[in-house]
Structure 1
Amino acid sequence: MFEFIDTAVTGDQFLLALYDTLIMVSVSLGFGALLGIPLGIVLVLCRPGGILPNVALHQILNPVVNILRSLPFIILLISILPVTRWLVGTTIGTPGAIVPLVVFIAPYIARLVESSLLEVDDGILESANAMGASTFQTIWHFMLPEAASSLILALTTATIGLLGATAMAGTVGGGGIGDLAITYGYQRFDAFATLTTALVLIVIVQLLQTFGTRLARRIRRE
């Protein structure tokens, strides 16, 4: 009379969720870096006392970055649902999660880049100025190489933060490991699925941090 339904997560489902998570992280990080790195550079250049001080531009960009960074990801995700639907045609699944993830990570990267570039010694900038370097040359040949190690660590931190955000996207059907944990681990009381997803996320974070730290150390020695 009763049909048994197997609610346990399968290996194929787990691999698909892991694949979706990696796609979300890589695509969101790529677009977020394309937006965040230039934004961080502009914040450094146009700040009072910067190479190209522009008070008006800085007073516009700085609050916008602060506002976007102050919103918890889950609130940001819900707030821009109409924008997400307009851009990608859906608000669920991996495509629906990528848009809010980009909006979430871009200002975060901008702040990390800004912090890294502000650590560059003033003597480096004075040397660039003495050599007659243009603004672009100062950024490309002096500031970015000098801050390379710090930038690597900054992007590593951003990637780990993005990984955590993809897990939260699962609460609204965003796909990936987070969605698997909610659907099977929480809603179906599958402790094994919850534990497995948590361990996988921990392993990924450890691998990312180890890789980023070693790469930054190598660049610093060079």
Structure 2
Amino acid sequence: MRRDQSLLEVFQSYTNWEDVDLTKLWENTQDTLYMTFASLVAVFIIGLVLGLLLYETSRRNGGFAKIVYYITTFLVNVFRSIPFIILIVLMIPFTRALLGTMTGPTAGLPALILSAAPFYARLVESGFRDVDKGVVEAAEAMGASKLQIIGKVLIPESLPSLVAGITVTAISLVGFSAIAGIIGAGGLGNMAYLDGFQRGRNTVVLVATITIVFIVFILQAIGDIAVKRIDKR
């Protein structure tokens, strides 16, 4: 009987809907979306540049190109290997020096960008490697410049992979933003932890979690539709 009562109490703790402040939920959802998309823009640009650098330097035999490749690979692998929760703690002094604060959605951006850009760079490099070498060689034989090959061959041919990669990265950023929220960056993670868990409001935790899942589903659906429309194979 005690066990039944305890299970009933647990169930009831997740259905106290009066604990949920819809205004606060919307504000925190906006913070999560801001952190996700603001960092995603920077990640796309930095990741594209790094991925292109990795791809180009790996194809060259010159000593300088090899040095650049190994240094870039080392840095990418290092930042990909650091768990996000550790990285954001390591970034606290840098974030405070750069922004003057370590709280709020904007304060979470440096760590989000630094964690996701190397990951996306590897996806970009992989996408470029999957481009048919014959197409690249044909463009080179026709006298196309390096910029023309990049803009008219590599990026268009690998676009489905690039879009699929940025979709995966966006979903990862949603999860990272929730972790950032726990240490003061705001967003749904902050709401789930401070307003929900620490105050014993399980319904708030549940609603924040469902909202995050909903955002992820929407991002995945948008990404899948975009890839299907772009991929002409």
TM-score by length of 2: 0.88
Contact kept in structure 2, 1:40 and 1:110, CA below 8 Å: yes
**Aligned position for 2:147:** 136
Number of residues of Structure 1 aligned to a counterpart in Structure 2? 216
Partner of 2:83: 72
Corresponding residue SS for 1:47: helix
Out of 156-165 and 47-56, give the one that drifted further. Answer: 47-56
What is the SS of the residue equivalent to 1:163? helix
Q: How does 1:96-175 map to 2 (within 5 A)?
A: 96-175=107-186
Residue 42 (str. 1) matches residue 22 (str. 2): no
RMSD of aligned alpha carbons: 1.8
Q: Which residue pairs with 1:208 in the alignment?
A: 219
Instruction: Identify the structure with the greater helix proportion.
Output: 2
Asked if the contact 2:60/2:66 (under 8 Å) is kept, the reply is: no
**Comparing 35-44 with 46-55, which one deviates more in the overlay?**
46-55
Which structure 2 residues correspond to residues 4-43 of structure 1 after superposition, within 5 A? 8-43=19-54
Counterpart-to-counterpart distance in 2, 1:41 and 1:139: 9
Larger radius of gyration: 2
| Distance (whole Å) between structure 2 residues aligned to residue 56 and residue 221 of structure 1 | 37
- State the shift of 1:51 in Å: 11
- Unaligned ranges ≥5, structure 1: 1-6
Structure 2 CA distance for aligned equivalents of residues 151 and 50 of structure 1? 26
Moved more, 202-211 or 153-162: 202-211
Contact 2:192/2:205 (CA < 8 Å) preserved in 1? yes
Shift, 1:95, TM fit:
1.7
Per-residue CA deviation, residues 25-52 of structure 1 (Å, 9 max, x unaligned), is 1111111222111111111000145899
Match of 1:91 among 98, 102, 125: 102
Unaligned runs of 5+ in 2: 1-17
Distance change in 2, residues 1:218/1:50 (3 Å): farther
SS of the aligned residue for 2:148 comes to helix
What is the CA distance between 1:221 and its match in structure 2?
A: 2.3
